[in-house]
């Protein structure tokens, strides 16, 4: 919740800021989400879905935190998809931090999206089922078409900055 609350969703250049790194972060999210979808036998919806809810529907977010999250989304987040992702990410963190819960050895599915939002807010879609990051378009394919054992990008700040700096040249 702290990281979400620090995101500037209204940044006017946010949609095109850090386009290279944000597009690679989206590819990485899709890769990770497809790995989790495979474990679940397919996602209930794609490309965003409540992984924690699918794995352990009995685990709930603390009601006080859920109320703060809803207020935050209402006051700050315009996109329906971004609101859904915020809820799913907080629920994921709740599940991950619940004592005794054993999860498959897969990477955190929402970390690339949170980093993407931190680097420029909401994501734009175009009419051809693609995410639009300025000159970078990421096609939304079927979930299993995003499966890959190799990460799309490293998530550390230096690697992400290098992607953006390389494009700026």
What is the predicted pLDDT for the residue at 167? 77
List C-alpha distances in Å: 75 to 3, 44, 70, 97, 146. Answer: 16, 28, 9, 27, 33
Q: What share of the chain is helix, strand, coil (3-state, %, to 5)?
A: 50, 5, 45
What is the predicted pLDDT for the residue at 138? 93
d(C-alpha 53, C-alpha 43), whole Å: 11
Residue spans per domain, the chain:
2-168
The predicted model scores a pTM of 0.92
CA-closest candidate to residue 125, choices 39, 32, 38, 15 = 15
What is the predicted pLDDT for the residue at 135? 84
What is the predicted pLDDT for the residue at 16? 66
What is the predicted pLDDT for the residue at 15? 56
Please identify every stretch of the chain with a pLDDT value under 70, giving residue numbers as ranges.
Answer: 11-16, 168-169
What is the predicted pLDDT for the residue at 69? 95
């Amino acid at each position: 919740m702290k990281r979400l609350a620090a995101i500037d969703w209204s940044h006017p250049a946010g949609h095109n800021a850090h386009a290279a790194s944000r597009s690679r972060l989206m590819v990485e999210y899709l890769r990770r989400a497809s790995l989790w979808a495979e474990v679940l036998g397919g996602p209930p919806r794609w490309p965003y879905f409540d992984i924690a809810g699918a794995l352990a529907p009995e685990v709930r977010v603390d009601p006080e935190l859920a109320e703060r999250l809803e207020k935050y989304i209402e006051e700050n987040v315009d996109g329906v998809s971004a609101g859904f992702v915020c809820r799913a990410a907080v629920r994921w963190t709740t599940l991950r931090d619940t004592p005794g819960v054993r999860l498959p050895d897969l990477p955190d599915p929402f970390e690339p999206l949170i980093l993407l939002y931190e680097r420029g807010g909401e994501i734009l879609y175009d009419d051809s089922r693609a995410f639009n990051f300025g000159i970078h378009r990421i096609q939304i394919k079927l979930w299993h078409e995003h499966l890959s054992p190799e990460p799309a990008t490293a998530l550390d700040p230096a690697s992400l900055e290098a992607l953006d700096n390389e494009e700026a040249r």
